[in-house]
Amino acid sequence: MAVAEDHDRRVRLAAFRWLRAQVDIHGEVLPRSNLAEGFTFEGVRVPLLGPQGIFKPAILTGAPLSITTAPQGPYEDSFSSGLLRYAYRGTDPEHADNRGLRQAMARQLPLVYLYGLEPGRYMPVWPVYVVGDSRSDLFFEVAVDDPLLAVAESPSDPVIAEDRAEIRREYVTSVIRRRLHQQAFRSRVLEAYRVQCALCRLRHQELLDAAHITSDALPEGEPLVSNGLSLCKLHHAAFDRHFLTVRPDYLIEVRQSMLDEEDGPMLLHGLQGMHLQPIVLPRSAAQQPDRSRLEVRYQAFRQAQ
């Protein structure tokens, strides 16, 4: 048993380290093809997901390695009371996949959670732990923990055994929940703008952000596409700091002090050249920037000059 448990732990640690390397290369959102291909552990290929949401690669004999929320999938996974409610596989609590997650809960094994933002693109979160099981409502409760703890060399390390794990996990889960929602908002906004900056038409997805018109720090700053603009990182920063804005008539206005400056080609073409140019708009009228939000933003821009 000890040999099997050590093997299981080493496979999970290898998965977490591989994910860290992939995120460093690709960013927070990974293509499904990478996750399905996975990594090689002692000569054996280890994929991180399969056709079903609860996934155990062949190299493991006990509990699953990952759980997945598919974009537009059949199950309603959601956050409640600071935890992720992850739906059972089917309606039979004794289905093998559900028993596998129950085993992960009993042994407190760390898993990978793959959150589907859109078809073919997932945000990985790790480690996550199954901390609750509701047979009557057919879901598990899942908490996220600090990824630094997942790569400790031994489960008996003092940092793993601390007695405030529940409080720590609740906090980390709330942070991750916000990041997942931000990534989902970004995905919807970029799709609406056909993956390009609304101002300069830059099409490199890695350099694009979803900028809020009404700040998400405000109660009315809902994560709606009509409250967003697809902007490259330069124009996002300029928009946030009122160096330029988008007027309610969908024209770009650059701050007068910026127009009066003399500098290099970046200022000339990247900012000054945008003045009074129309932005790229989503094809759907319902997804186009809310004019009332832009009006409020425009007044703040005028006051900042």
- pLDDT, tens digit, for every residue of 135-156? 999 999 999 988 877 665 444 4
Q: Is the pLDDT of residue 10 over 50?
A: yes
DSSP 19-40: HHHHHHHH-S-EEHHHHHH-EE
Query: From start to end of the chain, where are the E strands?
Result: 30-31, 39-41, 44-46, 54-55, 66-69, 78-80, 83-87, 111-118, 121-134, 139-144, 208-212, 228-232, 244-246, 252-254
Tell which wins on pLDDT, 113 or 61: 113
- The amino acid at residue 289 is P
pLDDT tens for 219-247 read: 888 889 999 999 999 999 999 999 999 99
Rg (CA), the chain: 23
Position 23 scores a pLDDT of: 93
pLDDT for 261 equals: 84
For 47, counting Cβ atoms within 10 Å of its Cβ (0-12 exposed, 13-18 middle, 19+ buried), the class is middle
Average pLDDT over residues 272-291: 95
Q: Where does the pLDDT of residue 260 fall: very low under 50, low under 70, confident under 90, or very high at 90 and above?
A: confident
Per-residue confidence (pLDDT) for residue 155, from 0 to 100: 46
Output the DSSP codes for 236-304. Answer: HHHHHTTSEEE-TTSBEEE-HHHHH----HIIIIIIGGGTTPBPP--SSGGGSPPHHHHHHHHHHHHHH
Which pTM value belongs to this model? 0.74
Confidence of residue 301 (pLDDT cuts 50, 70, 90): very high
Under a CB-based contact definition with an 8 Å cutoff, are residues 189 and 230 in contact?
A: yes
Mean pLDDT in the chain?
A: 89
* Residue 171: per-residue pLDDT: 79
- State the pLDDT confidence band at 75, using cuts at 50, 70 and 90: low
pLDDT at 123: 92
